[in-house]
Amino acid sequence: MSISATTAETETTVEPVKKESSKRLWLLAPGVIWMLLFLVTPILMMIYVSFWTQTTFKITPDLTIKSWVTFFTTDTYLSALWTTVRIWLIVLASTLVVGYPAALYVGLFVKNKTIQTALLVLCVIPFWTSFLIRVLAWRPMLGKEGAINLILQGLGIINQPIEVLLFSELSVIIGMTQIYCVFMVGPIAFMMGRIDQSVIEAAQDLGAGFWRIFRTIILPLTMPGVVVGAIFVSVMVLGEFATAAALSGRKVNLLGNIIVTQVGSLKWAFAAVVGVVLTVLMGVVVAALLRVVDLRKEL
C-alpha cells in the first residue's frame, strides 16, 4: 500500500516540476534578448551591408560582390591581413614567453597565498591608467630621444640612437606584449594554483628532476590556462587598432586600422567586408585553440 501511495505522489509531482523548469528558462530572457539585439543582429547586418553597392559618396542596398573582390585583389588589404596574422602570432608567442615563467613563479613557488594575490594584483596595476595613456607612454620611452636610447647612449653602449625602437613593427609588438601579457599570466597562474603541491612532491619522490616534472606534470596540467590566456590575447590583438596607430607611425596597418579608415571615409560596405573577414578569422582562431584542450573537461 505504501508503494502505491508513493507512486501516486510521484505522478502528481511530475507536472509542477515541468512547469517549474519552463519558468526557470525566463532567467535566460534578458541575456538572450540583449545578445539578439546587440550581437546577432549587428553581425547579420554587417554581412548584409558587405554586399551593398558603394559609390564614392553614397551606399545603396543593391547587392554586389564588388567590395569583396576589391578586398581579395588589392595588395594593401591582403598585406594588412597578413600583417594582422603575423603580429598576432608574434604577440601571442611573446606574451607566452613573458607570461608563463611569471605565472609559474607566482602560482607555484610563492607559497604564501597573500603574497600570491598581491603579486597578481601588481600585474593589474597598469590597468588603473587608461588604455590610450598606456600606449602613448611608450613614445617617450622608445623614441629617438627617448629614455631607452638616452640611457644606452649614456652608458656608452651605443653611439647613435636605435631608430627602429619607435614607429616600427617592433614598437607595436613591444606595446602589445606589455598590455596583453597580464591576460596570459592570469589564467595560467590560476591553473598553477590548482596543482596540488603533493602531486609535485610525489613526482619528485618517484625520482623525477625539475625539468621532467615540468614537462610531464606542470605543463599538461596548465595547458587549459594557456589556452584560455591565448584566447583572451588573440581576440584582443586581432581586433586591435589603437596601439598600431599610436606606435607605428602609420607604417603598420592591421585590419582594425583599415576598418577605422574606411568608416572614417564613410565606406560602409568595404568596412563591413573587413569586419566579416576579421570576425571569421577570430572564430577560426578560437575554434582551433579550443581544439587543443577540452576546456569543459579540464575546468
Partner 1 sequence: MSSVLKLAGVTKAYGTLNALDGIDLSLPNDSYVSLLGPSGSGKTTLLRVIAGFEQPDLGTVIFKGQRIETVPPHRRDIGFVFQNFALFPHLSVSRNIAFGLENRAENSVTDPDIVQARVKEMIALVGLSGLEDRGVGQISGGQRQRVALARTLVTEPSLVLLDEPLGALDANLRARVRSELRLIRERCGVTFLHVTGSESEALAMGDMVLVLDSGRIAQAADADTIYNRPKSLSVASFLNCYNLFEGRLAGESFLSPYGAFPLGDQMQFRDDRTGYAIRYDRVAIRPAEVPAADDEVRLEATFVADEYSGAAINSFFSLDDGRVFEVESHLSQSMPPACTPQSRYTLVWKRRDALVYA
> What does the binding site for partner 1 look like in residue numbers (CB under 8 A)?
196, 198-199, 201-209, 212-213, 216-217, 220-221
AA identity, residue 19: K
Least Å from the CB of residue 206 to partner 1: 3
Shortest spacing between CB 216 and partner 1, in angstroms: 6
Tracing cell 607604417 back to the chain, one arrives at 251
Q: Dihedral, CA atoms, 154, 178, 285, 37, nearest 10 degrees?
A: -140
Of 245, 132, 231, which is closest to residue 179 (Cα–Cα)?
132
Task: Decide whether 125 or 206 has the Cβ nearer to partner 1.
Answer: 206
Secondary structure of residue 240 in the 3-state scheme: coil
175 vs 225 by CB, closer to partner 1: 225
CB of 95 to partner 1, least distance (A): 24
Q: What is the C-alpha separation between 61 and 73, in angstroms, rounded?
A: 23
Whichever of 51 and 100 has its CB closer to partner 1, that residue is 100
Pairing state between β 53-54 and 59-60: antiparallel
The nearest distance, CB 203 to partner 1, in angstroms, is 7
Find the farthest-apart pair of alpha carbons in the chain and give their distance in angstroms, rounded. Answer: 100
Closer by beta carbon to partner 1, 209 or else 264: 209
Closer to partner 1 by Cβ: residue 154 or 207? 207
CB of 183 to partner 1, least distance (A): 24
Residues in the chain: 299
